[in-house]
Amino acid sequence: MLSKNDILDSILTECDIATHVVSKIPADGADYRQSPDQRSNLEIARYLAFCAIGGTCAMIDGNWDRYTKWNEATANVELANFAEAMERQKQALRDTFDALDDDDLQREVAHPLGHTMRLERAFVELPLKWLVAYRMQVFTGAKAAGNSDLWTPDCWGGITMERPTAAS
């Protein structure tokens, strides 16, 4: 069983990785879309700026009211202030998790697709997975928009590392 601190730490780590990856979007890559019907890099960044706390609140509350408010509050986030938006989300996550106890995590909640699960699992299935998935989409979008220096450590560790040179 994961503790609430394990779950929170994992979500906060993903927030940090997302912040790193978004910072690697080329200056002219904010509006880049991998296809016409997909979100732009900036639109995905705006989603990342609230999806963890929005999903967490939705699972706790059993409705999407606070999710919608967080979405609205991040509608004007730009790449230049994305890191600050992520810090606000991280603090809100800390505050929200601080108010929970281990019994709360065992409560059954409704998943948006119609089934129920324990709250602890819902935090993994929704906000955590959303962060991973959309961070990955920003990673591929930043590469496609021109940042050819991005590679595995950026995406999975949130760190910039030199690529090993091939032996000659």
Number of domains the chain is built from: 1
Residue 93: give its domain's CATH number: 1.20.120
d(CA 126, CA 36): 26
Residue 162 included in any domain: no
Q: How far is CA 75 from the centre of its chain?
A: 15
- State mean pLDDT over 42-47: 98
Report the pLDDT value the prediction gives residue 167, as an integer from 0 to 100.
65
Residue 110 DSSP SS3: strand
Band (pLDDT 50/70/90 cuts) for residue 163 is: confident
Residue 69 included in any domain: yes
d(CA 23, CA 18): 8
Residue 118 included in any domain: yes
Residue 60 has pLDDT above 80, yes or no: yes
Residue 165 included in any domain: no
The backbone torsions φ and ψ at residue 40, rounded to the nearest 5 degrees and listed phi first, read -75, 165
Does pTM top 0.85 for this prediction?
Answer: yes
Residue 31 included in any domain: no
Report the pLDDT value the prediction gives residue 168, as an integer from 0 to 100.
58
Residue 135 included in any domain: yes
Residue 168 included in any domain: no
Mean pLDDT of the chain: 95
Inter-residue contact 99 to 53 (CB < 8 Å): no
Domain residue limits at 71: 4-25+38-157
- Cα 95 to Cα 30, 91, 101, 154: the distances in Å are 31, 6, 12, 28
Q: pLDDT by residue (tens digit) across 62-117?
A: 999 999 999 999 999 999 999 999 999 999 999 999 999 989 999 999 888 888 99
Band (pLDDT 50/70/90 cuts) for residue 21 is: very high
Residue 46 included in any domain: yes
